[in-house]
């Protein structure tokens, strides 16, 4: 699974961090960082993260 | 399965039903002609001209590729005992399970005066119409209502270069109902520094103008000249189609702690329209008009309909609001802790983190400021999740 975040859209809400803490995190300045090739076992978490992104900036490929 | 209302809550309900294992047919009936789209940008990026409609549409999960969309169609009546709904195109649908997801519409001011020049912001069409008027040179704008949407629209209008933007409210401070005085003062100051004017403490008594609005008359007799008026004075639930079924429809549709409607195992309500008790708090049913609620309710309701029998619904409410160059981010239920409000970190004059308490117990945290403050609020989320129920 490949995760793509449109960083032009991302506004650092952090909702994805609550849904999928193994994939997304906010750094100490409150900016988003993420793993772009997480384990396929995390697909439910990542789908949920995509749902709760207020900017709809998260896409799952493959 | 019939889903009434094809916006965020309706879409999420269909997706979560599939995720919960429902393989039967799903029909979504929606009054708007559009596929479900995201509303928060309407008062922000769309109004500012920074986001095109295409970027607002939700990307449905692949699991709902086979659902039937009846867009541009209203549900006009229902007979829950017979498990049928009637549509405005004359057809009748029967169902095994029904999801109520018809959301809200803006409340309008009923005081006298012309209608032309008066706007609300709920749909894409609303936002487009308002943007066209705000961008007319020299427009004087009066926003009625200093809540969420009123404050956002005022901020966006100033950002667009509108020179005269005035927010009117009978209450003494912006957003004071949900957030209390401490943040109300902080918001007032921030808005004023960025050019928004306020006329607080007097409501609207009427509108001046012949064919189109030219001024707003306040209860104290003041007249504010206006070319454009935005009414953001709350909303009404779209529940008329449920009349005649013996339901409690005062302020949305009442549900039990499992989001079931009218004691029926096959009817649930989701999103803004649902008035549900939250097991996390005091058992009083409330509607919650926040973006996270359609997804939270849909997930729970789908489990209820597919017989998974989950524990009582107990979401942690969360909302944000973007105004000018700052963000409000809330976790929990600040309105339940308004009597005991304390600064947890920072300074109301700059970035601030505020805690709301009920009998000494933390029930809500709100951040006002930049990304670091918002991120600090998120660190209190775990503590809020671990609090015992208020009734415990
Ligand atoms: C301008 C604006 C800005 C917002 N900004 C924020 C924000 O910054 N942060 C935040 O947390 N929340 C925000 N929100 C709140 C959030 O968008 C809502 O909570 C969410 O949209 C609710 O979704 P819903 O599907 O329950 O209801 P709705 O979006 O109201 O959808 C209901 C749908 O049902 C349709 N319908 C109604 N009656 C019928 C009928 N009889 N038959 C068929 N269809 C019908 C309607 O046309 C509509 O499409 C904002 C809302 C608005 C309007």
State the pLDDT confidence band at B378, using cuts at 50, 70 and 90: confident
State the pLDDT confidence band at B207, using cuts at 50, 70 and 90: very high
Pocket test for ligand 1, best of B238, B301, B320 (most atoms within 8 A of CB): B238
**Any long-range contacts for B304-309 (C-beta under 8 Å, 24+ apart)?**
B304/B258, B304/B259, B304/B260, B304/B265, B304/B268, B305/B1, B305/B17, B305/B20, B305/B22, B305/B97, B305/B99, B305/B266, B305/B268, B306/B17, B306/B20, B306/B21, B306/B22, B308/B20
Q: Does A10 touch chain B (CB under 8 A)?
A: no
In chain A, the residue whose alpha carbon lies closest to the alpha carbon of B375 is A30
Q: Does B292 touch chain A (CB under 8 A)?
A: yes
Q: Does A35 touch chain B (CB under 8 A)?
A: no
The predicted model gives B80-101 an average pLDDT of 98
CB neighbour list of residue B307: distance below 8 Å, 6 or more residues apart = none
Give residue-wise pLDDT tens across range B169-204.
Answer: 999 999 999 999 999 999 999 999 999 999 999 999
Distance from CA of A50 to the nearest CA of B (A): 9
The predicted model gives B337-341 an average pLDDT of 95
**What is the reported pLDDT for B52?**
84
Chain A, chain B: beta-carbon pairs less than 8 Å apart: 45
**What is the reported pLDDT for B319?**
96
Ligand 1 centroid to residue B272 C-alpha, Å: 7
Distance from CA of B114 to the nearest CA of A (A): 37
State the pLDDT confidence band at A29, using cuts at 50, 70 and 90: confident
What mean pLDDT, rounded, does chain B reach? Answer: 96
**Cβ B358 vs Cβ B337: under 8 Å:** yes
In chain A, the residue whose alpha carbon lies closest to the alpha carbon of B370 is A30
Does residue B301 carry a pLDDT above 90? Answer: yes
Query: Which of B55, B61, B292 comes nearest A47 by C-beta?
Result: B61
Check A51 against B295: CB less than 8 A apart.
yes
ipTM: 0.94
Distance from CA of B16 to the nearest CA of A (A): 10
H-type helices in B20-62, by residue range?
45-48
Give residue-wise pLDDT tens across range B227-263.
Answer: 999 999 999 999 999 999 999 999 999 999 999 999 9
Give residue-wise pLDDT tens across range B1-22.
Answer: 999 999 999 999 999 999 999 9
DSSP track, B13-26: HHHHHHHTT--S--
Tracing tokens 């803004």 back to the chain, one arrives at B272
Instruction: Give percent of chain B with pLDDT exceeding 90.
Output: 93
Among the residue ranges A31-45, B49-63, B271-285, the one predicted with the least confidence is B49-63
| Residue minimizing CA distance to atom 50 of ligand 1 | B40
DSSP track, B200-262: ES--EEEEE-SSB--EEEETTS-EEE-SEEEE-S-EEE--GGGTTS----TTSEEB-TTSBBT
Give residue-wise pLDDT tens across range B21-44.
Answer: 999 999 999 999 999 999 999 999
**What is the reported pLDDT for B61?**
92
Helix (H, G, I), strand (E, B) or coil at B157: helix
**What is the reported pLDDT for B232?**
98
């Amino acid at each position: 699974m490949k995760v793509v975040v449109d960083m032009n859209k991302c506004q650092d809400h952090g909702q994805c961090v609550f849904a999928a803490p193994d994939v997304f995190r906010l750094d100490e300045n409150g900016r988003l960082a993420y793993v772009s090739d997480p384990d396929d076992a995390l697909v439910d978490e990542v789908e949920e993260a995509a749902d709760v992104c207020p900017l709809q900036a998260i896409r799952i490929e493959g | 399965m019939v889903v009434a209302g094809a916006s965020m809550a309706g879409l999420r309900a269909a997706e979560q039903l599939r995720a919960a294992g429902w393989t039967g047919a799903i029909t979504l009936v929606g009054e708007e002609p559009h596929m479900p789209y995201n509303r928060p940008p309407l008062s922000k990026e769309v109004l500012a001209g920074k986001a095109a409609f295409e970027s607002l549409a939700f990307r449905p999960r692949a699991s709902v590729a086979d659902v039937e969309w009846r867009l541009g169609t209203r549900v006009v009546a229902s007979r829950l005992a017979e498990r049928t709904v009637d549509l405005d195109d004359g057809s009748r649908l029967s169902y095994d399970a029904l999801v109520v997801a018809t959301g809200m519409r803006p409340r309008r001011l009923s005081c006298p005066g012309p209608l032309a020049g008066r706007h609300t912001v709920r749909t894409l069409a609303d936002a487009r119409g308002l943007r066209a008027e705000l961008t007319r040179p020299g427009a004087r704008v009066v926003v009625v209502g200093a809540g969420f949407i009123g404050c956002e629209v005022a901020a966006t209008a100033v950002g667009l270069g509108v020179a005269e933007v005035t927010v009117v409210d009978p209450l003494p401070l912006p957003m004071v109902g949900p957030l209390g005085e401490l943040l109300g003062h902080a918001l007032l100051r921030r808005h004023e520094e960025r050019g928004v004017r306020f006329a607080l403490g007097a409501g609207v008594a009427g509108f001046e103008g012949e064919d189109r609005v030219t001024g707003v008359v306040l209860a104290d007799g003041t007249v504010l000249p206006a070319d454009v008026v935005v009414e953001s004075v709350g909303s009404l639930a779209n529940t008329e189609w449920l009349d005649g079924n013996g339901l409690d429809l005062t302020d949305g549709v009442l549900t039990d702690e499992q989001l079931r409607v009218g004691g029926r195992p096959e009817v649930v309500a989701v999103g803004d329209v649902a008035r549900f008790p939250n097991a996390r708090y005091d058992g009083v049913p409330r509607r919650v008009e926040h973006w996270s609620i359609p997804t939270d309710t849909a997930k729970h309701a789908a489990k209820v309909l597919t017989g998974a029998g989950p524990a009582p619904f107990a979401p942690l409410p969360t909302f944000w609001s973007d105004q000018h160059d700052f963000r409000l981010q809330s976790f929990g239920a600040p309105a339940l802790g308004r009597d005991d409000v304390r600064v947890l970190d920072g300074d109301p004059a700059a970035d601030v983190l505020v805690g709301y308490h009920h009998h000494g117990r933390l029930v809500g945290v709100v951040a006002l400021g930049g990304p670091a403050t918002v991120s600090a609020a998120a660190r209190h989320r775990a503590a809020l999740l671990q609090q015992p129920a208020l009734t415990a």
